[in-house]
Amino acid sequence: MTIEFLQPYFGFTSEMWDLSNLMREKFFEAYSKTDNYGLVFTFVWAFNHKEDWNLVEGITNIFKSKGAEVYFVELEADLAERLIRNKTPNRLEHKPSKRNIEQSEQRLVASMDRLRLTSREGEIDRDNYIKINNTLLSTKEVALKIKDEFQL
């Protein structure tokens, strides 16, 4: 949501990413002080970028410092499926930055060359962690796997 808010003003620039991370941090700090139960945060984690590791650790610490449990769900899908999902009506409705499908697909494919988007075996050392290849799974099937794994 922060990307969709900021991208029209700054494009996909370092300023946009800096502001997005700042907004996320402030949001998480405020949310962690509420009595609300649960929050799902999705993030494209570049495992080959230290700043992404730091961001995830910072977010985790915000919630853990308030006594919250944090669960990690790594979703992976093959490129062909990601390209299909990238232009579904739901995604296009909620993510204006994806509506220029040609540019969006170019960014997605280019990211595969410079970002490692799948963790290595044992790389995420967390108690509450699951990795799911959801290429052939529905959102409901994935949700049920997560629910069952973490007994939620």
Q: Which residues of the chain have pLDDT under 70?
A: none
- Residues 81 and 55 occupy one common structural domain: no
pTM over the 0.85 mark: yes
- Residues 76 and 54 occupy one common structural domain: no
Full domain range(s) for residue 89: 71-152
Output the pLDDT for position 40: 95
- Residues 131 and 98 occupy one common structural domain: yes
Number of domains in the chain: 2
Output the pLDDT for position 76: 96
Output the pLDDT for position 103: 93
What whole-number distance in Å separates Cα of residue 28 and Cα of residue 44? 17
| pLDDT tens-digit series, residues 28-43 | 999 999 999 999 999 9
Output the pLDDT for position 104: 93
| pLDDT tens-digit series, residues 136-149 | 999 999 999 999 99
- Residues 12 and 25 occupy one common structural domain: yes
Domain end, chosen from 70, 87, 114, is at 70
What whole-number distance in Å separates Cα of residue 16 and Cα of residue 94? 19
From the number of C-beta atoms within 10 Å of its C-beta (0-12, 13-18, 19+), residue 98 rates as: buried
- Residues 56 and 4 occupy one common structural domain: yes
Tokens read off for 146: 């997560």
Helix axes 14-32, 2-10, angle to 10 degrees: 150
Domain end, chosen from 70, 93, 128, is at 70
Output the pLDDT for position 128: 96
E strands in 55-95:
72-76
Output the pLDDT for position 46: 96
